[in-house]
Amino acid sequence: MPGLLKGFSAIVRRDLLLAWKRPGDVLNPLFFFAMVASLFPLATGPSPEQLMLNGPGVVWVAALLATLLSLNSLFLSDFEDGSLDQIILSPQPLPLLGLGKAAAHWLLSGLPLVLVSPLIAVTYRMPADIVGVMMLTLALGTVSLSLLGAIGAALTVGLNRSNALLSLLILPLAMPVLIFGARTVSLAAAGDPVAAGIYFLAAYCMLALTLAPFATAAALKISNE
Amino acid sequence: MWSFLHKLASPPHFYGLSAKMIPWLYAAGLVAIAYGTVAGLFYAPADEEMNDGFRIIYVHVPAAFISMSAYMVMAVGAGIGLIWRMKLAHAVAAGAAPLGAWFTFLALITGSIWGRPMWGTWWEWGDPRLTSELLMLFLYFGYLALRAAIDDTAKADKASAVLALVGAVNIPIIHFSVEWWTSLHQGSTLLKAGGPGMHPDMLYPLLAMILGFVLLFAALLLARVRTEVLHRERRTRWVRKLIMPAGEAA
Q: How many CA atoms lie less than 13 Å away from A125 in the CB half-sphere?
A: 10
3-state helix/strand/coil string of B76-118:
HHHHHHHHHCCHHHHHHHHHHHHHHHHHHHHHHHHHHHHHHHH
Q: In this complex, do B149 and A160 lie within 8 Å of one another by their Cβ atoms?
A: yes
Q: Which of A151, A156, A175 lies at the smallest CB-CB distance from B135?
A: A175
The b-or-e profile of B212-229 (16+ CB within 10 A means b, else e) is bbbbbbbbbbbbbbbebb
Say if A160 is an interface residue toward chain B (CB within 8 Å). Answer: yes
pLDDT tens-digit profile of A65-119?
999 988 988 998 889 888 899 999 988 889 999 999 999 999 999 999 999 999 9
Residue A210, sorted as left (phi over 0), alpha (psi -120 to 50) or beta, turns out to be alpha
Confidence of residue B143 (pLDDT cuts 50, 70, 90): very high
Handedness of CA B86, B90, B92, B93 (dihedral sign): positive
Say if B153 is an interface residue toward chain A (CB within 8 Å). Answer: no
ipTM summary value: 0.89
CA neighbor of A114 nearest in space, from A192, A60, A191, A194 = A60
pLDDT tens-digit profile of A129-159?
889 999 999 999 999 999 999 999 999 998 8
State the pLDDT at residue B188: 40
Say if B139 is an interface residue toward chain A (CB within 8 Å). Answer: yes
CA distance A54 to chain B (A): 16
Residues 6+ apart with CB under 8 A from B243: none
| Residues A123, A34 contacting (CB under 8 angstroms) | no
Task: Collect all residues of chain B within an 8 Å Cβ-Cβ radius of residue A156.
Answer: 146, 149
| Residues A56, A189 contacting (CB under 8 angstroms) | yes
| Residues B224, B95 contacting (CB under 8 angstroms) | yes
Q: In this complex, do B145 and A169 lie within 8 Å of one another by their Cβ atoms?
A: yes
CB atoms within 10 A of CB A2: 5
> Which candidate in A151, A222, A223, A225 is best for mutational testing of the B interface (most B CBs within 10 A)?
A222
Confidence of residue A161 (pLDDT cuts 50, 70, 90): confident
Task: Specify the long-range contacts of residues B184-187, CB closer than 8 Å, at least 24 apart.
Answer: B184/A183, B184/A187, B185/B126
Q: In this complex, do A222 and B181 lie within 8 Å of one another by their Cβ atoms?
A: no
Say if A215 is an interface residue toward chain B (CB within 8 Å). Answer: yes
pLDDT tens-digit profile of B197-226?
567 778 888 899 999 999 999 999 999 999
Residue A82, sorted as left (phi over 0), alpha (psi -120 to 50) or beta, turns out to be left
Q: Which of B141, B170, B184 lies at the smallest CB-CB distance from A168?
A: B141
Q: What are phi and psi of B51, to 5 degrees?
A: 55, -130
Can you give the residue ranges of every domain in chain A? 2-223
Residues 49-88 of B with CB under 8 A from A: 82
Q: Please give the DSSP secondary-structure letter assigned to residue B45.
A: P
Rounded to an integer, what distance in angstroms lies between the CA atom of residue B57 and that of residue B52? 10
CA neighbor of A194 nearest in space, from A134, A111, A127, A110 = A134
> Which candidate in B173, B174, B183, B184 is best for mutational testing of the A interface (most A CBs within 10 A)?
B173
pTM, two decimal places: 0.89
pLDDT tens-digit profile of B75-115?
999 999 999 888 899 999 999 999 999 999 999 999 888 88
Rounded to an integer, what distance in angstroms lies between the CA atom of residue B59 and that of residue B37? 9
| Residues A171, A68 contacting (CB under 8 angstroms) | yes
State the pLDDT at residue B191: 43
CB atoms within 10 A of CB B86: 17
CA distance B187 to chain A (A): 17
Q: What pairs with residue A156 in β-bridges?
A: none
Q: In this complex, do B162 and A159 lie within 8 Å of one another by their Cβ atoms?
A: no
Q: What pairs with residue B47 in β-bridges?
A: B51
> Which candidate in A155, A186, A220 is best for mutational testing of the B interface (most B CBs within 10 A)?
A155
CA distance A147 to chain B (A): 12
Q: Can you tell me whether residue B241 is helix, strand or coil?
A: helix
Q: In this complex, do B145 and A165 lie within 8 Å of one another by their Cβ atoms?
A: yes
Rounded to an integer, what distance in angstroms lies between the CA atom of residue B63 and that of residue B202? 17
Mean pLDDT of A200-216: 94
CA neighbor of A29 nearest in space, from A117, A103, A154, A99 = A117
CA neighbor of A148 nearest in space, from A87, A198, A213 = A213
Say if A211 is an interface residue toward chain B (CB within 8 Å). Answer: yes
Measured N-to-C along each axis, helices B87-119 and B128-149 cross at an angle, to the nearest 10 degrees, of 150
Q: Can you tell me whether residue B196 is helix, strand or coil?
A: coil
Q: Can you tell me whether residue B51 is helix, strand or coil?
A: strand
CA A206 to the chain's CA centroid: 15
Q: What pairs with residue B51 in β-bridges?
A: B47
State the pLDDT at residue A100: 94
Average pLDDT, rounded, for chain A: 90
- DSSP code string of B115-147: HHHHHSSS--TT-HHHHHHHHHHHHHHHHHHHH
Q: What are phi and psi of B47, to 5 degrees?
A: -75, 150
